[in-house]
Amino acid sequence: MIPQEVIQEIIEKVDIVDWIEQYVPLKRSGTEWKGLCPFHTEKTPSFGVTPSKQSFYCFGCQEGGTVISFVMLYENLNFPEAARRLADHAGIHIVEEQLDPQQEAKRKHRSNILRLQKAAADYFHSLLLKDRSPQAQAARDYLKGRQLGIDIAKEWQLGYAPEDQRHFFHWASEQRFTTDILVEGGLAAWRDENYRSRGAYARFRHRLMFPVMDENSNVIAFSGRVLSKEQKGGKYVNSPETIIFNKSRTLFGFHKTRRPITKAGHAIICEGQIDLIAAVDAGVANMVAPLGTALTEDHAKALRRQAEEATLCFDSDNAGLKAAGKAFRTLAPKGMLVRLAFLPEGEDPDSYIRQYGLEAFQEVIATAPEYFDFHIDRKGSRLSSGPLRDRLNFARDLAADIALVDNKMLQDSLINRIAAKLGVGEEELRKQIAGAAKVQARTERYKRSRDSRNQGDGGGGSSGAAAAPLVIDNRSVRLLCRLLLTDPNTKSKFHSQPIPEYFRDLPDTELLSRVWHGAFDPTHPASVHAFTTTLQPNEQGAIKGIMTESFPGASGEWADECLLNLERLAIQNKIAMIKARMGVPDLPTDEINRLTKELLDLQARRSDTC
């Protein structure tokens, strides 16, 4: 227990404005300081710090309290841990009263794990540099090949884990670290969890070691890189999660780059530790890297507290594009503007800076397009003159991401740009976005429900996630699929007919086309089931939903009406496309005349179908 007078001294001595400004950009407003709340997403500052009262308060989420309360909330610490951190900062010595025995044991255990990580970092570092151990020569050669000198190795406390694990265990024994504490700290693992008498092995062997720090520069874990192609295991091996290390909450290098990110209001996210270290050494101070995993919500929250904008600097291959898409879908819901900076194939930030220089890299970052602009320019230009259905499907794919953007003005701007670029109607795009938002809300509710069930059964749950079903918004498409699959007259009538050309101007018709010409007998469920197994997993999910959906009064007579509805919609889509095209600035006169004639023809066709 920390005495009350010590708590009062901490609150009085620690300047709350100075402390909070490390995490949140603040501006003076009279006798107070204002900023964006770090505990919820907002665009207008509602977070205030009052120096005279040594307190903070947010009118948006109602979080408030002393500087100790802030540290507890921001760092996810309990009261004694937050108070000790502030006391260390202020040079206040704490003489604690007796704690509850269980809490005291937990505190000592955490302290021992922290002490182990610090000692191990010193040990690995000494093998690399201080002792100039011959066995660490491969690690020194690797750093030299990447043009990373001794000063950088010292700055980041890089180290070497010996190939012969007996050296590591001998060091641990000398330092009086038991095997149990080595395992609990993630530096060793049992050979057999059920038969611990068989001993443990060192988790890191013959690897270049990168200490992982928390935001207060405490070593909490390690990431080890292989030094030869023959080595087993992944290119990077990270510590497992421990009492002090949670991978989903930790960003490599954040302890050094957090303030530069806050100052710039902008975070550059790269994929590897070496890339980050080399870039920071070259002068790119506002960069972070996840630890070999996709960005998580906790990562996004931590970054959003410091910045409003993030630039993803990933590999330019398909894997990099896929990772960038996942990162966008994590960052955008937290209110961050996301840009994509793809370097030439085969280059990473480290190699690019070494070959072309810092200014060239900074130019790449400065001119990085926004997420949507990148995709529109990359794929939209190829689709602009292609089938309308392809453009509508691409617009639908973008709509799912636009639905994650909660800034209404930005959404409207994106809709206008995409409609003009792809030649699709704004209303159709808005409809797709609204539908995507509903699907996302349902998915989020299902996820929360599933997580709740898993927690209830001890954290079990499914070992693998099923593919998300294909979403088909158009009811006529769904009903026509149902009739083809269940009504022999509809199947017989349409199977021999060519698929209508106007399907090319409609989204959601690819699956319908496959069902239209599918080889199955609607009177035999086994035949229908065998046909559905030839479809993609997400299409199978859509068929399953269609077969269980209620269509009151549906009969084979409705099939022609469904086709007529789809023809009307196709005409409407083409009309919207032409209007969007006509809205493009500086369109040549002959193009305007051609589009006008086509528009009049379509409007006449629309009247004929009504």
Average of per-residue pLDDT values in the chain? 84
Residues 254, 285: contact at Cβ < 8 Å? Answer: no
> In a 3-state reduction of DSSP, which class is residue 311?
strand
Q: Is pLDDT of 242 > 90?
A: yes
pLDDT of residue 610: 63
Q: Among the listed ranges 187-191, 399-403, 517-521, 576-580, which one has the minimum average pLDDT value?
A: 576-580
Domains, the chain: 4-90 (3.90.580.10), 108-245 (3.90.980.10), 249-368 (3.40.1360.10), 375-449 (no CATH), 475-609 (1.10.860)
Q: Among the listed ranges 92-101, 293-302, 561-570, which one has the minimum average pLDDT value?
A: 92-101
* Cβ atoms within 10 Å of 226's Cβ, excluding its own: 18
Q: Is pLDDT of 367 > 80?
A: yes
Q: Is pLDDT of 461 > 50?
A: no
Residues 414, 380: contact at Cβ < 8 Å? Answer: no
Q: What does the pLDDT average to over 345-373?
A: 91
Q: Is pLDDT of 209 > 50?
A: yes
Q: Is pLDDT of 456 > 60?
A: no
pTM above 0.75, yes or no: no
Q: What does the pLDDT average to over 446-462?
A: 48
pLDDT of residue 102: 74
Q: Among the listed ranges 251-265, 308-322, 424-438, which one has the minimum average pLDDT value?
A: 424-438
542 pLDDT band, cuts 50/70/90, is confident
β-bridge mates for residue 159, sequence order? 209
pLDDT of residue 92: 85
Q: Is pLDDT of 191 > 60?
A: yes
Q: Is pLDDT of 363 > 90?
A: yes
Cα–Cα distance for residue pair 74/82, rounded to 1 Å: 10
Q: Among the listed ranges 123-132, 134-143, 206-215, 466-475, which one has the minimum average pLDDT value?
A: 466-475
Percent with pLDDT over 70 in the chain: 92
Give the tens place of pLDDT for each residue, 16-59: 998 998 888 899 888 889 999 988 877 889 999 988 778 899 88
Of 155, 444, 425, the closest CA to residue 278 belongs to: 155
Q: What does the pLDDT average to over 161-189?
A: 95
Cα–Cα distance for residue pair 474/573, rounded to 1 Å: 13
pLDDT of residue 182: 96
pLDDT of residue 117: 97
* Cβ atoms within 10 Å of 61's Cβ, excluding its own: 14
